[in-house]
Amino acid sequence: MAQTSSTGTHATPTLGMVEFVALMASLTSLVALSIDAMLPALSQIGDALGVTDPHQPHLIVSVFFAGMAIGQLFFGPYADSRGRREALLLGLIIFCVGTVICMLAESLEMMLVGRVVQAFGVSGPRIAAMAIIRDLYVGEGMAKVMSFIMMVFILVPMLAPIVGQTVMLLASWWHIFTLFLGVAVLTGSWFFARQPETLPASRRRPFSWRPFAASSRFILTHNSVMGYTVAMGFIFGSFLAYISASATIFQEFYGVGELFPLVFATLAFSIGLASFFNGHMVMKFGMSPLCRIALKGVVGFAVIFNVLIAYYDGLPPLLLTIGIMFTGFFFVGILFGNLNAMAMQPLGNMAGLGAAIIGSLSSLFSVPIALFIDSFITTNLYPIGLGFLCFFILALVSVRLAEKARLEEHGDTA
């Protein structure tokens, strides 16, 4: 059943659906580009910066999400008080500053500082894009838009490692950061040329600590919002552990070498395929039923994956590993767009702050989970498999509690 919201007055879309989806996906995909283009370069960056612990280069990916957790808390209220366009502009400027710091880094510590600044800045475009989508769409309509955006967005994780490796072959890992600067400038120029402000001055919330605390309290004590948010943290935490360690898994454990970007792209395509499927199915079946099916799917995948890992003494054959992960990641792709839309739905005019708290909390949950799982990785897939199983089960429990709370709060059976 399609859902609507009575909270807030929605702006009218001015761009065609195709351009709007492409623009929003480009803005949000700056996050994925900043992460996945780095994956083939982690070992080389570690060598260039004198790192001896093989686990430490993984921090170049993990700390990015910690920076985003902080940045989203800033840009959420900023987007609600100063408008979406100003938040996006400030975020892009900070992102470029962080990129320059990374380019000048001569130690891992300075590189990590630059990555945190980068992540803080990229939170601006991400929050602005999410708030714009919430300004224009609601309920299953929002879930549909989010799924199509995810479908375009997923092309970046598919292509980014290939792009990063190509840059390294033609020049060096240092010029991956040059690429980031170019993409930020081009995407920002497109946005400011085409997308009007969606939060008029009459609907803005001037920042003050009392309303901020009241809005935050409303969101943090909203059981269904928090249930879906925690579930996203569990799911993404285990998935982030895989992303951070993917180069190690496929290049070192399986020895795929320069084929790593193609393997990574194949698995990322599964999530894009799921998003395409979800974009068509969500209007017919609703978000909640699809989430229930997908959660059962990811738990089932994790159980089978762990059985295979045990049977093959920690390292199943490459093609079997790719096949089972492709199937499991399809269910993960269904969850990403729907859980975020379900968490955002009750927040109305608090879209900016809501996106900030939801994104920040899910990141704060996911980073320690990923670091914990990755700390056990040595020469096999046991940590990844057990991480999937434990945290997918916890996500299933969290969603069930969120749905129970939603029924109690609103009597919504969608």
Digit-coded pLDDT (tens) for 95-124: 999 999 999 999 999 999 999 999 999 999
Q: Cα(101)–Cα(109) distance, rounded to whole angstroms?
A: 11
How far out from the chain centre does Cα 80 lie? Answer: 21
Q: Considering only CA atoms, give the Rg of the chain.
A: 20
Q: Which of 16-30, 91-105, 163-177, 246-260 has the highest mean pLDDT?
A: 91-105
**Contact between 111 and 102 (Cβ < 8 Å):** yes
Q: Cα(260)–Cα(26) distance, rounded to whole angstroms?
A: 24
Residue 139 pLDDT level (bands cut at 50, 70, 90):
low
pLDDT score recorded for residue 140: 64
Query: In 3D, which of 366, 270, 374 has the Cα closest to residue 323?
Result: 270
pLDDT score recorded for residue 151: 64
Q: Cα(95)–Cα(74) distance, rounded to whole angstroms?
A: 14
Residue 5 pLDDT level (bands cut at 50, 70, 90):
very low
pLDDT score recorded for residue 384: 96
75's CB contacts (< 8 A; 6+ apart) are 87, 90, 91, 123, 124, 126, 127, 128, 352, 356
Taking residues 260-269, report their average pLDDT: 90
Q: Cα(55)–Cα(138) distance, rounded to whole angstroms?
A: 42
Distances (CA, A) of 191 to 125, 129, 287, 309, 356: 10, 10, 29, 46, 21
27-36, 99-108, 359-368: which range is least confident on average?
359-368
Torsions phi, psi for 105 (to 5 deg):
-65, 135
Map residue 197 onto helix, strand or coil: coil
Q: Which of 281-290, 311-320, 341-350 has the highest mean pLDDT?
A: 311-320
Domains in the chain, please, with CATH? 17-198+212-407 (1.20.1250.20)
